[in-house]
Amino acid sequence: MLIRDLEWLLQVGELGHVTEAASALGTSQPTLSRALGRLEDELGVRVFERLPTGVETTADGELVLEAARDLVARHDLLRATLANRVDPDTGLVRLAFLDSMATTLVPRMLRAFHAHAPGLKVALSQEPAHEIRRDVDRGAVELGLTMDRSDDLAWLPVRRERLVVVVPPTHRLRGRKRVDLAELADDELVTTPVGYAHSVIVQALFAEVAVVPRISFESADLATIEGLVSAGLGVAVVPEAFAGQSGSVGLALSSPGATRTIGLTWRTDRPLAPPAQRFVDFVRGRAWDD
């Protein structure tokens, strides 16, 4: 059953005459008659009674016409909705990002993008890196802001952030400007769960100084981690922007690798929809980072 056939059916029902309907539709009367016959055969009912003066809708035909109106209207709505979603001025961008960017990078970027393209909508989802990858792969989002770089996905570096260690306000090293992670070998660590990109970075930094940290608490949220440190429940390695948010003390790390790189990623096996491409171009232009 074709939407076109349903549209033709509705035209015949409205005009009550096959020849007039064919003329209005810009097709021939035999072509329209065959389409109607094919539709009636498929439905197993007679929609119209043929009369010398035209056609008359049967009782079953009234049900068919009512359903046809609904189906055609839904089809038209779907097309209009999809057209709006991909419009570069009024469409939709679906962006997933790490929780740790929720109060820092993402608001700044989106504020600038909204000023640049006020008609575009951005649907946001906060996820760990492995879920961002999954959603990019299956098309649930077009773009991801993450620390995980994959060779089979596009990658646009967005920001390099310095990592610091945060300690409680009563910590023995609170007065220092810079520390080595080896000095924290006896402290308990508050960090993200195993499998999170941030956890991988932190574990690698401790491995550089041959320390296996004792983990006291795990949280997916870096702001929560900083709060736990402030409460005296351990130390943590976090992006510099999180230091001191609820009373912790941030100390620079001597390790040159104490950074994390955030990038925008997307699939390359298909073209990006115009709204998503516009977002990528905007981020690449760096105007938001002024």
Residue 1 is predicted with a pLDDT of 73
Sole residue written with tokens 């115009």: 274
Q: For the chain, what percent of residues have pLDDT higher than 90? A: 77
Would you give the end-to-end CA distance of the chain in angstroms? 55
Mean of pLDDT values over 99-127: 90
Q: Residue 125: which pLDDT band, with cuts at 50, 70 and 90? A: very high
Distance CA 140, CA 266 (A): 11
Burial of 66 (0-12, 13-18, 19+ CB in 10 A): exposed
Residue 100 is predicted with a pLDDT of 81
Rg of the chain in Å (alpha carbons): 30
Mean of pLDDT values over 206-220: 94
Distance CA 125, CA 144 (A): 9
Residue 99 is predicted with a pLDDT of 82
Listing DSSP states for 16-29 in one string gives S-HHHHHHHHTS-H
Asked whether 232 and 242 are in contact (CB, 8 A), the reply is: no
Residue 108 is predicted with a pLDDT of 92
| 3-15 helix and 29-43 helix, angle to the nearest 10 degrees | 110
Query: 3-class SS at 199?
Result: helix
- Closest by Cα among 254, 230, 252, 236 to 182: 254
Residue 287 is predicted with a pLDDT of 81
Residue 18 is predicted with a pLDDT of 92
- Closest by Cα among 288, 282, 276, 280 to 92: 276
Residue 123 is predicted with a pLDDT of 92
Residue 233 is predicted with a pLDDT of 97
